[in-house]
Amino acid sequence: MGHLTLFHYMEGGSLIHRHNPFIKLFEMIVTVSAIALSGPWSLALFSVFLCGAAVYSGMSMKKLMKEMAVFWWLLAFIFIASILSWDGRIFPEGIVSAMVQCLRFADYILCGLLFTRTTSPDKLYGVIYSLFRPVPFLPHRKIASFFLIIFTLLPKAVDTYAEVGESVGSRGLSNSRRPLHRAIYRIYPLMINMFLKTDAFSDALVSRCFNGEAELQDRNRAGLFDLGLFAVFAASLALCVLPSALPFLK
Tell me the per-residue pLDDT of 60-97, one tens digit each, with 9 for 90 and over. 777 777 766 667 777 888 888 887 776 666 777 778 88
How far apart are alpha carbons 175 and 121 in whole angstroms? 38
Q: What is the mean pLDDT of residues 94-114?
A: 87
Q: pLDDT value at position 35?
A: 93
Q: Which tops the pLDDT comparison, 40 or 248?
A: 40
pLDDT in tens, 190-244: 888 888 877 787 777 667 666 655 555 555 567 888 889 899 999 999 999 888 8
Q: Is the pLDDT of residue 134 over 60?
A: yes
Closest by Cα among 10, 105, 115, 122 to 53: 115
User: For the chain, what is the mean pLDDT?
Assistant: 79
Q: Quick one: which of 232, 223, 221 has its CA closest to 27?
A: 232
Average pLDDT on 148-177 reads: 74
Q: Where are the alpha helices (DSSP H) in the chain?
A: 15-18, 21-37, 40-56, 61-68, 72-84, 92-118, 121-132, 140-170, 179-207, 213-217, 224-249
Highest mean pLDDT, choosing among 96-100, 159-163, 213-217:
96-100
Look up the pTM and report it: 0.74
Q: Which amino acid is at 1?
A: M
Report CA Rg, the chain: 21
CA dist list (Å): 70 to 5, 7, 111: 11, 12, 15
* Whole-number pLDDT of residue 1: 43
- Please give the pLDDT value at position 34: 93
From the number of C-beta atoms within 10 Å of its C-beta (0-12, 13-18, 19+), residue 220 rates as: middle
